[in-house]
């Protein structure tokens, strides 16, 4: 697989609902994705900043893309359901025109439920971090 890959080819989100642009790399159980915030991005507040809950959606879509890579390879599913968010911390805001890097890594897996660590950064600035519990649903 040659990176970067357009995110919409790896996740079920389409059109404006696809909130990440590209998957930059996948190494084992870790994915790095990116998005450049534009003035019509779904997760922007009226003042042009990313809604702080938007960090969670960016991480969840990157988590979905991680399994989307497996689906493209014929060994998995791109369907992921967010079960919970823990230790969510925001340390900065993102604005129109900025490119964000979203890092997500699976740390634990048990019966389809995965615990993931995530971070969202803009250049050297860490903007948000936390943990997600995600249920990866197999296609039938």
pLDDT tens figures, 84-122:
999 999 999 999 999 999 999 999 999 879 999 999 999
Cα–Cα distance measured from residue 108 to residue 48, given in angstroms and rounded to the nearest whole number: 36
Q: Which domains does the chain have, with CATH numbers?
A: 5-137 (3.10.129.10)
pTM exceeds 0.85 for this model:
yes
Query: How many other C-beta atoms lie within 10 A of the C-beta of residue 77?
Result: 16
Q: What does the block give as tokens for 89?
A: 């911390």
């Amino acid at each position: 697989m040659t990176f970067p890959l357009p995110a919409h080819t790896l996740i079920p989100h389409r059109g404006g609902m696809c909130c990440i642009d590209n998957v930059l790399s996948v190494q084992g159980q870790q994915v790095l994705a990116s998005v450049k915030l534009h003035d019509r991005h779904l997760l922007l507040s009226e003042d042009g900043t990313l809604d702080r809950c938007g960090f969670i959606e960016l991480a969840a879509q990157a988590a979905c893309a991680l399994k989307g890579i497996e689906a493209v390879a014929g060994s998995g599913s791109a369907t992921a359901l967010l079960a919970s968010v823990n230790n969510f911390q925001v340390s900065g805001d993102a604005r129109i025109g900025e490119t964000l890097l979203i890092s997500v890594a699976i740390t634990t897996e048990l019966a389809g439920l995965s615990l993931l660590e995530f971070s969202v950064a803009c250049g050297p600035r860490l903007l948000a971090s936390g943990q997600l519990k995600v249920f990866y649903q197999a296609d039938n």
